[in-house]
Amino acid sequence: MKKYTLLFCLLTFFSFLSFSHEFWLQPLKFLLKINEHTTVDVFVGENYTGEKVDASKFTISKLTHYSKEGEKDIRGQIATKDSVKIPVTFSSEGNHLLAFNNTNKFIQLDAKKFNEYLRSEGLDNIIKLRKEKGLENKKGREFYQRCVKTLFQVGETKDETFSKNTGMRLEIIPTMNPYLIKSGDLLTFKVLFDNEVFSNALVLAWWVKHGKTSMKKLRSNSKGEVSFPITKDGRWMISTVKMIPYTASAEADYQSFWGSYTFGYY
């Protein structure tokens, strides 16, 4: 009996972890030459390490390339069906930004696990709402989707593409070009939800260097801004989550949006 109880607990725990994973775009290289080929994978995981996503479980609603020349829908460039591998080659110097959004997926957790998840992601608004409505002991039924971006540097030219608002519901936007700062400088990020300031968001800055991950977390201010010191080495991800009540149908009680912005110096 103890063996089966332990197995059930482990399965429940890992099911919870599999949902609470970060989600990001990960290029093989961020710093490129003109017409140099590379690929971008879509990853899900913990601690800014993970595995390629199973693309059969959702539909890509947005995969757009932004540059100083404009924007282009590149969903047709995806190389595989089971995992999202995006081949890219940029023919002009400057900054190039990819933005990805997928359709909703569904998750249901028992009350204890759902409340733990809300606390771990800093979703104070939903914790407060559940307390006010006496729902702390009710299971959590949730739709969730991803709003993620990655930034390349091609050649030496820098431009304003880094700050592009791509129109996704959750946006993370640097206020300075990550490839123009000096190592150790503070880099400020603005967080928007539905194109409005997202204040008091729990924002995480992940840094991977030589296979080791470090992470810092801060709350965004009244302007939706948060600043982190950036070392120009390895790869970085800035991430946050927004959750709102879901009232469009009886299928779920909440809707969440997971955002990330990646860049790197290799």
- The domain total for the chain is 1
Partners of residue 44 on adjacent β-strands = 23, 51
What does the alpha-carbon distance between residue 171 and residue 174 come to, in Å, rounded to a whole number?
Answer: 10
What's the angle, vertex CA 158, arms to CA 35 and CA 24, rounded to 5?
70
The pLDDT of residue 81 is 65
Torsion of CA 69, 70, 73, 74, to 10 degrees: 30
Where are any strands of DSSP class E within 127-211? 140-154, 170-174, 186-193, 196-197, 202-209
Q: Identify the domain containing residue 247 by its residue range.
A: 2-264
Burial of 248 (0-12, 13-18, 19+ CB in 10 A): exposed
Q: Do 162 and 97 meet the contact criterion of CB atoms below 8 Å apart?
A: yes
The pLDDT of residue 79 is 65
Q: Kindly report the pTM of this predicted structure.
A: 0.91
The series of mean pLDDT values per 10 residues for the chain, 266 residues long, is 39 42 95 97 93 86 97 87 86 98 96 96 97 96 97 98 98 98 98 98 97 97 98 98 93 97 98
Structure tokens at 32: 């490129």
83 membership: H or E segment, kind and range: none
Task: Express the helix, strand and coil content of the chain in percent, nearest 5 each.
Answer: 20, 45, 35
The pLDDT of residue 1 is 43
9 membership: H or E segment, kind and range: helix 2-20
The pLDDT of residue 78 is 85
The pLDDT of residue 6 is 39
What does the alpha-carbon distance between residue 173 and residue 192 come to, in Å, rounded to a whole number?
Answer: 8
Which residues lie below 8 Å from residue 31, measured CB to CB, with a gap of 6+?
152, 153, 264, 265, 266
The pLDDT of residue 58 is 86
The pLDDT of residue 56 is 79
